[in-house]
Amino acid sequence: MRMLMKKEIRLSTLLLTWLFIGFGFMTLLPGYPILCGVFFITLGIYQSFQNAREANDVLYSVLLPVAKRDVVRGKYRFVVLIELLGFALMALMTLLRMTLFQNAPVYRQNALMNANLFYLGMVLILFGLFNSIFVGGFWKTAYKIGKPFVIYVVVAFLVIGVAETLHHIPGLEALNAFGYDHILLQLSLLACGALLYALMTFLSCKKACADFEKIDL
């Protein structure tokens, strides 16, 4: 599995994918739907999938002395690596907004989602949806990437719209807490996001392995 990860990083991954991790800095943007940063990071991953498909990466991988399930797991580990690097950058920017910039007027007067632990929980949920819809969808054919990505984009922006709306609903204002306000609620929501991410990724990978076993390359 370690060698498959090396193959993913050295042969299959575009430089663009690594550069798109930098969209995690969008967390600092005021007056902007900051969850869109997740979309751009996943767009970078999509570009690597597209490049790998054109280079017949899947066929090359199954010709290696590894199980077909390990080929799928190697891709998932690569995807999770990029996502966690993006999440780490977003978490760092969120920490800055929760501490040094928590009283900055440009953020306090922002009508859109604030960067807090609820935001990070939603980041993980969006990454989990990408793994379930796009990555899992890719392994149904090990070739087609357009349809699952379009479905993911539609679902992702619907979720972003809902997340941006929630704190405007009476009684849910605490979701947009600044600094360490409502910290127990924030921690609970982050934990739920992490649990959903792990569950969606695990179940998606398990199903993808079964789907890929059925494909005759």
High-pLDDT (> 70) share of the chain, %: 100
Would you list the DSSP string of 19-79? HHGGGGGGGG-TTS-TTHHHHHHHHHHHHHHHHHHHTTHHHHHHTSSS-HHHHHHHHHHHH
* Stretch 16-43: mean pLDDT: 96
Query: Cα–Cα distance between 38 and 130 in angstroms, integer?
Result: 10
Q: Return the CA Rg of the chain.
A: 18
- Token pair, residue 58, equals 């899947």
pLDDT tens column, 50-74 = 999 998 888 888 888 889 999 999 9
| Residue 158: predicted pLDDT | 98
Residue with tokens 């604030």: 114
| Residue 12: predicted pLDDT | 83
What is the average pLDDT score of the chain? 94
- Token pair, residue 46, equals 């999509």
CA angle 57, 62, 64 (to 5 degrees): 100
| Residue 62: predicted pLDDT | 85
CA angle 77, 152, 25 (to 5 degrees): 70
| Residue 195: predicted pLDDT | 98
CB atoms within 10 A of CB 93: 20
| Residue 217: predicted pLDDT | 66
Query: Cα–Cα distance between 50 and 80 in angstroms, integer?
Result: 17
- Token pair, residue 113, equals 């989602």
| Residue 18: predicted pLDDT | 97
Query: Cα–Cα distance between 103 and 108 in angstroms, integer?
Result: 6
The reported pTM is: 0.95
Structural domains counted in the chain: 1
| Structural domain containing residue 33 | 2-213
| Residue 15: predicted pLDDT | 94
* Stretch 100-127: mean pLDDT: 95
CA angle 101, 106, 107 (to 5 degrees): 55
Confidence of residue 98 (pLDDT cuts 50, 70, 90): very high
* Stretch 96-123: mean pLDDT: 94
Confidence of residue 5 (pLDDT cuts 50, 70, 90): confident
High-pLDDT (> 90) share of the chain, %: 82
SS3 116: coil
Question: Exposed (0-12), middle (13-18) or buried (19+): which is 20, by Cβ within 10 Å?
Answer: buried
Does the pLDDT at position 1 exceed 80?
no
